[in-house]
Chains A and B, each alone.
Chain A
Amino acid sequence: MKQHEQVLFKNRSPGETAFLETYRKSGGYQGLEKALTKMSPEQVREEVKKSGLRGRGGAGFATGMKWSFFPADKPGEKYLVCNGDEMEPGTYKDREILMADPHQLVEGMIISAYALQIPVGVIFIRYAYEQCSRNLERAIAEAMEAGLLGKNILKSDFSFELHLHRSAGRYICGEETALLNSLEGVRANPRSKPPFPAQKGIFGKPTNVNNVETFANVQHIIAHGSAWFKNLAFTESGSGTKLYCLSGHLERPECFELPIGISLGAVIEEYGGGVWRGRRFKAALPGGASTPYLTAEHLGVGLDFDPIEKAGSRLGTGAVTVFDETTCMVAATLNLNRFFARESCGWCTPCRDGLPFINWLLEKIENGQGEMGDIDMLREQIRNINGRTFCALAMGAMGPMQSLVDLFEEEIIDHIKKRCCPLKT
Chain B
Amino acid sequence: MPILTIDNQQIEVLKGTNVLEAAKGLGIVIPHFCYHEALGAVGACRLCAMNFVEGPVKGIQMACMIEAKDEMVITTTDQASQEMRARVIEWLMMYHPHDCPVCDEGGECQLQDMTIAGGHDIRRYGGKKRTYSNQDLGPFICHEMNRCIQCYRCVRTYQDYCGGTDFGVLGTNQRVYFGRFRDGRLESPFSGNIVDACPTGVFTDRTFRYRTRYWDIEEAPSVCPHCSLGCAVIPGGRFRELQRVRGGVNKQTNGFFICDRARFGGGYGNHPERPRVPRVDGAQTTWPEALRALRKRITDLVARHGPGAVAFLGSPRASLEANYLLDSWAASLGSRRIAFDSHWQHDRSARVAAGKLGPRAASLEDIRCSDFILMIGVDPLNEAPMLALAVRQAVRRGVRLAVIDPRPVTLPCAAAHLPLAPEALPDVLEALAGGDIRRLGRREAVLLEGILEQLRAAERPVLIGGPDLLGAAGIERLLDTARLLASEHRPCKVMTVLAGPNSFGCGVLARQGPDFEAILNGMLAGEIKALVCLESDPMTGSSDPARTGMALGKLELLAALDYLPTAAAHHAHLFLPTTAVPESAGVYVNNEGRMLLFSSAMDPGTPISVSGGGDHPPRTFLPATPGSEPRPAWATLGHLQGRRLSLRDIRQAIEMEHPNFAGLSSLTTGGEGKRIADISPPPETAPEIPFPHSEGEGTLRLYAMEDFAGSGELAGYASALAPLRPTPFVMLGALDAKQRSLSDGQQVRLRSELGGVGVALRVVPDLPAGIALVPRLRGTALESYVPGRGHYDCQILSEDEEKT
Q: Shortest Cβ distance from B159 into chain A, in angstroms?
A: 10
Looking at A341, A342, A343, A388, the one whose CB has the most chain B CB atoms below 10 A away is A388
Bound-state CA distance A341–B174 (Å) is: 8
Q: Tell whether, in the assembled complex, residue B173 and residue A344 are in contact, meaning their CB atoms are under 8 Å apart.
A: yes
Q: Is the CB of A346 within 8 A of B172?
A: yes
CB proximity of B607 to chain A, nearest CB, Å: 43
Q: Which one of A57-65, A268-276, A350-358 is at the B interface?
A: A350-358
Residue of A172, A344, A359 with highest tally of chain B CB at under 10 A: A344
Binds A, one of B86-94, B416-424, B686-694, B765-773: B86-94
Q: Which of B42, B59, B125, B172 contacts A345 (CB 8 A)?
A: B172
Which residues 726-752 of B sit at the A interface, judged by CB distance below 8 A?
Answer: none
User: Do the beta carbons of B91 and A357 come within 8 Å of each other?
Assistant: yes
When the two chains form their complex, are residues A387 and B59 in contact, meaning their CB atoms are under 8 A apart? yes
Give the interface segment out of A295-303, A376-384, A405-413.
Answer: A376-384
Task: Give which listed residue, A346, A350, A390, contacts B88 with CB less than 8 A.
Answer: A350
> Within 8 Å of chain A (Cβ to Cβ): is B182?
no
Interface centre among A192, A341, A356 (most CB of B within 10 A): A356
* Chain A residues, CB < 8 A from B173: 341-346, 352
Is B60 part of the contact surface with A, judged by Cβ < 8 Å?
yes
Whether B176 pairs with A352 at a CB distance below 8 angstroms is yes
Cβ of B47 within 8 Å of any chain A Cβ, yes or no, is yes
Assess whether A352 is in contact with B94, with CB atoms less than 8 Å apart: no
Interface residue A187 (Cβ < 8 Å from any Cβ of B): yes
Contact across chains for B44 and A349 when beta carbons are under 8 A apart: yes
Please state if B150 and A352 are interface contacts (CB–CB under 8 Å): yes
Structural contact, B175 and A346, CB atoms closer than 8 A: yes
Scan B168-184; emit 1 where CB is below 8 A from any A CB, else 0.
01011111100000000
Q: Residues of B contacting A350 with CB < 8 Å?
A: 46, 87-88, 91
Tell me if B94 and A353 are in contact (CB < 8 A): yes
A346-B171 Cα distance, complex, nearest whole Å: 8
Asked if B125 contacts A360 (CB within 8 A), the reply is yes
Residue of A with least CB distance to B168: A187
Q: Contact check: which of B65, B83, B84, B174 meets A192 at CB < 8 Å?
A: B65
Would you call B49 an interface residue if the criterion is a C-beta within 8 Å of the partner chain's C-beta atoms?
yes
Q: In the complex, what residue of chain A is closest to B88 when comparing beta carbons?
A: A349
* Cα distance A310–B90 in the bound complex, in angstroms: 35
Tell yes or no: B45 within 8 A of A by CB: yes
- Are the CB atoms of A389 and B46 closer together than 8 Å? yes
B127 partner residues in chain A, CB cutoff 8 A? 356, 359-360, 363
Inter-subunit contact B43/A346 (CB<8 Å): no
A377 and B124 CA atoms in complex are apart in Å by: 10
Residues of B within 8 A of A343 (CB): 172-173
A356 to B91, CA, bound (A): 9
Q: Is A144's beta carbon under 8 Å from chain B?
A: no
**Contacting residues, chain A, for B59 (C-beta < 8 A):** 387
Q: B642 at the A/B interface (Cβ < 8 Å)?
A: no
Q: How far is the CA of A347 from the CA of B644 in the complex (A)?
A: 61
One digit per residue, 1 when the CB lies within 8 angstroms of any chain A CB and 0 when it does not, for chain B 777-804 equals 0000000000000000000000000000
Partner of B174, one of A170, A187, A356, A383: A356
A-B pairs with the 8 shortest C-beta distances? A353-B91, A346-B176, A360-B127, A384-B87, A344-B173, A346-B172, A349-B46, A349-B91
15 A-B residue pairs with Cβ-Cβ distance under 8 Å, sorted by A, are A170-B172, A192-B42, A192-B43, A342-B173, A343-B172, A344-B173, A344-B174, A346-B150, A348-B46, A349-B47, A349-B88, A349-B92, A352-B174, A354-B87, A354-B91
Given contacts A346-B176, A390-B44, could you give 12 more A-B pairs where the C-beta distance is less than 8 Å?
A342-B173, A343-B173, A346-B171, A346-B174, A349-B91, A350-B91, A352-B176, A353-B91, A353-B95, A357-B91, A377-B124, A388-B84
Interface residues of A (CB under 8 A from B): 170, 172, 187, 192, 341-350, 352-354, 356-357, 359-360, 363-364, 377, 380-381, 383-384, 387-390
